[in-house]
Amino acid sequence: MLIGDDPASVTYVKMKRNCCDKTGIDSRFIELPAATSTSEAVSAVRHLSEDLGVDGILVQHPVPPQVDERAVFKAIAPAKDVDGVTMHSFAAMAFGLPGLLSCTPGGIIRLLDAYQVELVGKHAVVVGRSPILGKPVGMLLLARDATVTYGHSRTRGLPEIVASADVVVAAVGKPELVRGDWIKPGAVVLDAGCNEGNVGDVAFNEALGRASLITPVPGGVGRMTISVLLDQTVTAAEKGAGLPLGTAAS
């Protein structure tokens, strides 16, 4: 579901639908006008939550300012929360229980696993603490026995904190905020940033010579986000998310 016509969101939805087509997942595009109210958006999502033909729901965010994003996410049936944005999914993740993960944090952990990055006892610095990205990725790293520090807009001495990290996750939304000389030689750098002009939150060319592994923008974390979305949609379908409410396998 896309509310409004934010150009970046339009592109993301198009990319996600293309990937659905390629992988054989049927997708339905619900487009709501920019002036949609919270109650209209909630009602549209509830409709999908109750639709037996739907296994997964993605509400593209950010939503327009007059829409209460949390209220809209709350209307997503937990079994269909393939983007991992509901409080139910967040709580399961926080308790270390199986569930649908927020896609970008899930993609970052999969990348670290694929490259066999050792996390136990390592210092991970996550720059950003949003509820769907920074905060959950830090919690997932903590669950892997990393020692986690969060940086945010009020953090003092961010360059020094990042310089002590074995693993850096940049999830800020500020082009090239993290400079190359902040990176400890040999650190692993994951750049979730996706700013105008395909610029990440890390100064890639500066950091390239210092990091042992670094994700590019585009083609790094963003791709993983979509992959996790598709994977979780298949999982939800296999568990019968489209069955009548309350009957899906847990």
Site map (CB under 6 A) of ligand NAP, residues 103-142, x = contact: -x----------------------xxxx--xx--------
Query: Given candidates 114, 154, 197, 205, which one binds ligand NAP under the rule CB under 6 A?
Result: 154
| C-beta closer to ligand NAP: residue 13 or 43 | 13
Q: How far apart are CA 250 and CA 126, in angstroms?
A: 31
Q: How far apart are CA 109 and CA 131, in angstroms?
A: 16
Establish if 82 lies at the interface with ligand NAP (CB under 6 A): no
Q: How far apart are CA 183 and CA 206, in angstroms?
A: 9
Q: How far apart are CA 161 and CA 231, in angstroms?
A: 34
Establish if 39 lies at the interface with ligand NAP (CB under 6 A): no
Q: How far apart are CA 207 and CA 101, in angstroms?
A: 29
Q: By the 8 A CB rule, do 107 and 79 touch?
A: no
Active-site residue (options: 55, 80, 81, 83): 83
Q: Is 174 a catalytic residue?
A: no
Establish if 194 lies at the interface with ligand NAP (CB under 6 A): yes
Phi/psi at 22 (5° precision): -65, -30
Q: How many CB atoms lie within 10 A of CB 142?
A: 16
Residue 127, both tokens: 């720059």
Q: By the 8 A CB rule, do 100 and 89 touch?
A: yes
Q: Is 16 a catalytic residue?
A: yes
| Choices 49-57, 74-82, 153-161, 236-244 (CB under 6 A): range interacting with ligand NAP | 153-161
Residue type present at position 17: R
| C-beta closer to ligand NAP: residue 50 or 224 | 224
Establish if 152 lies at the interface with ligand NAP (CB under 6 A): yes
| C-beta closer to ligand NAP: residue 173 or 242 | 173
Q: How far apart are CA 237 and CA 211, in angstroms?
A: 39
Establish if 80 lies at the interface with ligand NAP (CB under 6 A): no
| C-beta closer to ligand NAP: residue 98 or 197 | 197
| C-beta closer to ligand NAP: residue 17 or 174 | 174
Q: List residues near ligand NAP by CB under 6 A.
A: 104, 127-130, 133-134, 151-155, 158, 171-174, 177, 192-195, 221-222, 225
> Which of the residues are catalytic?
16, 60, 83
